[in-house]
Amino acid sequence: MTERPDDLLILLVGSNPLPNYLAGCALRPNRIALVFTKETKDAKDRLRDQLAQTLVDKVRFEDVWVDDATCSTEVRRVIDRLMSSDGNRDVSLHYTGGTKIMAVHARMAFKCGKGKPERASYLDEGGKENPPRLRFDSNTSKLLSEYPTVRLDLKSLLALHGIAHEPRKPKDPAPTLADARDILCKGLENVPLLDTLYEERKRLEKFGNPKNAVSNPFRANCFGLTLSLSEFPTNVQLEGLESADKKKSWFKQWYSFIGGEWLEDWLGGQIRALAKDLNLDLEKDITIGVNAKRIGAKKEDPPMEIDLSVVCGHRSYFVSCTTDTTKRQCKSKLFEMSVRSRQLGGDLARAALVCLADDGTVSALQSDINDVWGATNTTKVFGLSDIRDWSDFGGKQPNRCSLKQWLES
C-alpha cells in the first residue's frame, strides 16, 4: 500500500488493540484514522503510540470520536465523512475491532461510499490447523507471516495494554540450568522432595534479612542435591554484595529458585532446545520470569507475574509453572493463566500450565478448562508424565514433541 501517494486505513478501536496493531503493521498506510469511543480512548492512544514506533515510514494519525458505539446512524455518519473527505484517496477499512454494531455499520457505510471489497479486511486469528491471516472481502486472504513488516514481541504486546515489564535478572552467583536439572532429576526420583524444598523456601523467606539466616542456612547435601552453591547464605557470600537491597535480592533469588522457580528455568531450557525448529530468537522471544505492572501504577500495587512467555510469529504463549500436585492449587493457576492470556493476546494467545500432577489429575484439569472455554485455544495442561518425556532423566533422549506441538498451535 505504501506505493499509493495518500492512502487511508480506518481502524475500529476495541478493548484489545492487538488485531489493529497487526493489521496496521501489515498494510502500512500513509494515514490511519483511529475510530474510538470514550471506553477505548486509552487503548487508542496506546495503539497509536505503538504503530508510530513500529512503522518506519512516516504515518499521519487522525483520531475520530464516536459518541455512541451502539448507535448505527452515529457510526455510519463517521465512516461516511471519512469516505468522502478526499475523493482522490484510496480508503481501506479493517473492521476486526470495535463493537459488533460498529463493525457492521462501518462495513455498510464503507460499501455505500464505494469502498472496494479488496480493501476491506478483518483478522482471522486462525486455529489449530490455520495460521493467522488477513481476510479481504474480495474472497482473498494473506498470511500474516507473508508480511515481512509484521513481527510481534513481548514488549510491544504488553505496551498495547499499558503494561511495562522487567524480565528476571540473575544476580551472580546465580542458579544455573544444571542446578535446575539436578533438582528435576532428584524430584522425579522422589516427588515429595519438591514439597520439602518448597517448605524450605518458606522457612528461609521468614528470615527477611539474609544475615539472620547465616546461622541456619540452606545446605544442598541435606536434600541430596549437588548445586553450584552448596550452601547459602554465608557471610562470605553476603560480603561480596554491595548493599542491603542487593543482599536481600540475591537471597530471594536463591530461595525462590529452590522453592519452584527452578521449574521455570528448566522449562525455558527445553524451549530453547526447540528454538531452531520454531525459528525463535533466544534473546528476544523467550522470557523467563515476567514482572509486569500497569504503567503509572502505584509502587505498592501488586505486579502481574508470568512465569514464562514465548512469542512465536504472531502468537504469544504464556506458561504458569507450579511444583504443586493438588488439583485445587493447579486449577487455580490454570484458570488464572487462561484469563490473563486472553486479556493480553485475545484469540491469538495460547496458555499452558506445567505442573507435577499425575495423569488422572491432569486429565480432570483439562476437562474442566475445556468445558469452560470450548475454544480452539483452550489452555493446555502438562503434568508429570510430560515433564518426564521432555527430560533426559535416566539417560534417555528427550521427547519434546508435545511441547513443540503446543508451541506450533
Within a domain: 163: no
Within a domain: 261: yes
Within a domain: 156: no
Say which range, 23-27, 32-36, 244-248, 368-372, has the weakest mean pLDDT: 368-372
- Do 181 and 134 belong together in one domain? no
- Do 80 and 193 belong together in one domain? no
- Do 333 and 203 belong together in one domain? yes
Q: What is the pLDDT of residues 271-289, one digit of tens each?
A: 999 999 998 988 889 999 9
Residue scoring higher pLDDT (56 or 118):
118
User: What are the residue ranges of helices labelled H in 190-243?
Assistant: 192-205, 235-239
* CA proximity to 115, closest of 92, 96, 140, 97: 92
- Do 134 and 199 belong together in one domain? no
Q: How far apart are CA 59 and CA 259, in angstroms?
A: 49
Q: How far apart are CA 111 and CA 119, in angstroms?
A: 10
| Parent domain of 26 | 8-150
Within a domain: 15: yes
Residue ending a domain, among 113, 133, 150, is 150
At 86, the pLDDT band (50, 70, 90 cuts) reads low
- Do 227 and 282 belong together in one domain? yes
- Do 283 and 146 belong together in one domain? no
Q: What's the pLDDT score for residue 293?
A: 83
Q: What is the mean pLDDT of residues 72-76?
A: 93
Pairing of strands 133-136, 60-65: unpaired
- Do 124 and 222 belong together in one domain? no
Q: What is the pLDDT of residues 302-333, one digit of tens each?
A: 778 899 999 987 889 999 999 999 999 999 99
> How many Å separate Cα 268 from the centre of its chain?
14
At 6, the pLDDT band (50, 70, 90 cuts) reads low
- Residue type at 71 in one-letter notation: C
Task: Give me the residue label for grid cell 496496521.
Answer: 24
- Do 26 and 122 belong together in one domain? yes
Q: Is the pLDDT of residue 371 over 60?
A: yes
Q: What's the CATH code of the domain at 234?
A: 3.40.1350.10
Q: What's the pLDDT score for residue 3?
A: 44
- Specify which residues 179 forms β-bridges with: none
Q: Is the pLDDT of residue 1 over 70?
A: no
Within a domain: 185: yes
Within a domain: 159: no
Q: Is the pLDDT of residue 346 over 60?
A: yes
Within a domain: 162: no
C-alpha cell at 66: 464516536
Q: Is the pLDDT of residue 300 over 90?
A: no
Residue ending a domain, among 107, 133, 150, is 150
- Do 146 and 20 belong together in one domain? yes
Task: Give me the residue label for grid cell 505496551.
Answer: 159
Q: What's the CATH code of the domain at 58?
A: 3.40.50.10770
In three-state secondary structure terms, 289 is: strand
Q: What's the pLDDT score for residue 60?
A: 93
User: Residue 103: CB partners within 8 Å, gap ≥ 6?
Assistant: 12, 95, 96, 97, 122
Q: How far apart are CA 61 and CA 63, in angstroms?
A: 7
Within a domain: 198: yes
How many folded domains does the chain comprise?
2
- Do 221 and 268 belong together in one domain? yes
At 373, the pLDDT band (50, 70, 90 cuts) reads low
- Do 34 and 127 belong together in one domain? yes
- Do 49 and 190 belong together in one domain? no
Beta strands in 175-244 (DSSP E): 218-219, 231-232
For 257, other C-beta atoms within 10 Å of its C-beta total 24
